[in-house]
Amino acid sequence: GENVEQHPSTLSVQEGDSAVIKCTYSDSASNYFPWYKQELGKRPQLIIDIRSNVGEKKDQRIAVTLNKTAKHFSLHITETQPEDSAVYFCAASKYNNNDMRFGAGTRLTVKP
Amino acid sequence: NAGVTQTPKFRILKIGQSMTLQCAQDMNHNYMYWYRQDPGMGLKLIYYSVGAGITDKGEVPNGYNVSRSTTEDFPLRLELAAPSQTSVYFCASSYLQENQPQHFGDGTRLSIL
């Protein structure tokens, strides 16, 4: 089955800097890649997703890039703010969400 | 809309006890899912359902059972609680169409002692 690896496990940046989180996946048939943000004790919330027919997607300070050949995708957060501090999860799935696999998460800390 | 509602929020069980975690959604989603999240780990799929009367196993189904008698409700049952089932359980739902975002509930934190 699909295997998703996520790096780094922890990331600390200064407010205003950029943060990059990377994920790799094993199944070349995967075609949907969401990113979730989970604040302490809260539910995971979708922040951005990308499908395999595009290479990049941007939403304000958040962007995701996908390299299908190398089977990796990345989350980019620019101009980080303290409220960006949370655990971020990447995931990958094929035709539907029944086979979605999550990465182990990255704990991002933005220092004021 | 309330979205996805899970009850209870917290529960402590003794080994061997049973309980049902409740999940309801009011978004008319066909798909519903149960995940568990162990400390410092990602989410692992326990069971899922593509509609009323249809359920199937996910990645880690052992020790759990589900039912889906209505579109809105998707309860998860633990029959003989074991310490390895100590975790945070999340229910989620999504539309039927391919690769739609999942909407999560607030989770149930379950400890088995």
Among A100-109, B46-55, B91-100, the range scoring the smallest mean pLDDT is B91-100
* DSSP annotation of A97: G
Mean pLDDT of A84-98: 87
Tell me how crowded residue A99 is: count the other CB atoms within 10 A of its CB. 18
Residue A83, classed as helix, strand or coil, is helix
A90 vs A52, residue with greater confidence: A90
Q: Is B41 on the interface with A (CB under 8 A)?
A: yes
Kindly report the nearest CA distance between residue A112 and chain B, in angstroms: 24
pLDDT of residue A13: 97
Q: Is the Cβ of B66 closer than 8 Å to some Cβ of chain A?
A: no
The predicted structure's pLDDT at residue A104: 93
Which residues in chain A are closer than 8 Å to B107, comparing Cβ atoms? Answer: 43
For the cut 90, the answer to whether the pLDDT of residue A98 exceeds it is no
pLDDT for A96: 65
Q: What is the pLDDT of residue A97?
A: 62
Average pLDDT, chain B: 93
CA distance A75 to chain B (A): 16
Exposure b/e, A67-76, CB count within 10 A at least 16 = b: eeeeebbbbb
Please determine, for residue A61, whether its predicted confidence score (pLDDT) is greater than 80. yes
Q: Select the residue from A4, A5, A88, A97 to test the B interface by mutation, using most B Cβ atoms within 10 A.
A: A97
User: What mean pLDDT comes out for the span A37-54?
Assistant: 92
Output the CA–CA distances (angstroms, integers) from residue B39 to A16, A40, A104, in the order listed: 29, 12, 10
Tell me the C-alpha distance between B103 and B113, whole Å. Answer: 30
Banded pLDDT at B56 (limits 50, 70, 90) = very high
Q: Over the range A32-64, which residues count as b (16 or more CB within 10 Å of their CB) and which as e?
A: bbbbbbbeeeebbeebbbbebeeeeeeeeebbb
Cα A71 from chain centre: 14
Q: What distance in Å separates the CA atoms of residue A35 and residue A16, rounded to the nearest whole number? A: 21
Question: Residue-wise over B59-96: b if at least 16 C-beta within 10 A, else e?
Answer: bbbeebebbbeebbebbbebeebeeebbbbbbbbbbbe
> Of B41, B99, B104, which is closest to A96 when you measure between CB atoms?
B99
pLDDT for the residue numbered A52: 85
What is the predicted pLDDT for the residue at B83? 95
Both tokens of residue A30? 């995967």
Closest partner residue to B42 (CB to CB) among A49, A95, A103 is: A103
For residue A44, the model assigns a pLDDT of 93
A33-41 mean pLDDT: 94
Give me the residue from B41, B101, B107 closest to A43, CB to CB: B107
Whether B48 and A98 lie within 8 Å, measured CB to CB: yes
